[in-house]
Amino acid sequence: MKVVSEKRERIIQAATIIFARQGFYNSTVADVAKEASVADGTIYLYFKNKDDLLISIFERSMDMFIQAAEEEINKEKSAENQLKRFIDLHLRLVHKHQELAQVIQIELRQSSKFIKEYANEKFFSYLNIVEKIIQRGKEQKIFNVDINAGILKRAIFGAIDEIALEWVLMKKKRYSIEEASYELCQMFVKGLK
């Protein structure tokens, strides 16, 4: 086994570009194959079907994000700073991988398949990171012990995600990623107290 099949990687990159540019349902497998410079059939050697391609993009990037997030968080002790690091990382990665971000935020939501039926383990891992930060904040007496982490982890994700989406789709950027990060951090740190 190669470290990770180089061709599989190329296809994922190509699919990310194509799906971001045209949308999942408006992209054909042939489009992806062409972008990846492989034959149509080759895609089916590495992915079960078109849906699997989308899911694979998601899983791979979530794995990377979750790992990066955990490393980043471990650099800090206080929940407050951890939350800041987390938000900052999320927005910086979106900034760095704008096409990938678009695919995950827009295309992945499209179909019931992904949101309703597909048991979204990776997404829960993401949310767990946020929840743990909140819990730690409560233990450290930084955050209000009465707040419901189960609900708010999702609200925090929604807010970050929406800002990221807006920023990626905005043609003429009205604010920087740093500003956005600062505003969000301020609001949540105060809001959770």
HEC letters along the chain: CCCCCHHHHHHHHHHHHHHHHHCCCCCCHHHHHHHHCCCHHHHHHHCCCHHHHHHHHHHHHHHHHHHHHHHHHCCCCCHHHHHHHHHHHHHHHHHHCHHHHHHHHCHHHCCHHHHHHCCCHHHHHHHHHHHHHHHHHHHCCCCCCCCCHHHHHHHHHHHHHHHHHHHHHCCCCCCCHHHHHHHHHHHHHHHHC
Distance between alpha carbon 139 and the CA centroid of its chain, in Å? 27
Question: Minimal distance in Å, beta carbon 101 to DNA?
Answer: 22
Instruction: Summarize as ranges the residues that interact with a copy of itself (CB under 8 A).
Output: 22-26, 106-107, 109-113, 115-116, 147-148, 150-152, 154-163, 165-166, 169, 174-175, 179-180, 183-184, 186-188, 190-193
Site string for DNA, 46-85 (x = CB under 7 A): ---xxx----------------------------------
- Piece of 35-43, 74-82, 146-154, 171-179 that binds DNA (CB under 7 A): 35-43
Taking the least distance from each CB to a copy of itself, the nearer of 77 and 124 is 124
Question: Minimal distance in Å, beta carbon 59 to DNA?
Answer: 17
Taking the least distance from each CB to a copy of itself, the nearer of 77 and 109 is 109
Reading the block at residue 71, the tokens are 């490393």
Q: Which of 13, 23, 42, 105 binds DNA (CB under 7 A)?
A: 42
By a kind-dependent CB cut-off of 5 to 8 A, residue 186 interacts, out of a copy of itself, DNA, none, with a copy of itself
40 binds DNA (CB under 7 A): yes
CA separation for the pair 104, 85 (Å, rounded): 21
Taking the least distance from each CB to DNA, the nearer of 45 and 155 is 45
- Piece of 26-34, 64-72, 96-104, 133-141 that binds DNA (CB under 7 A): 26-34
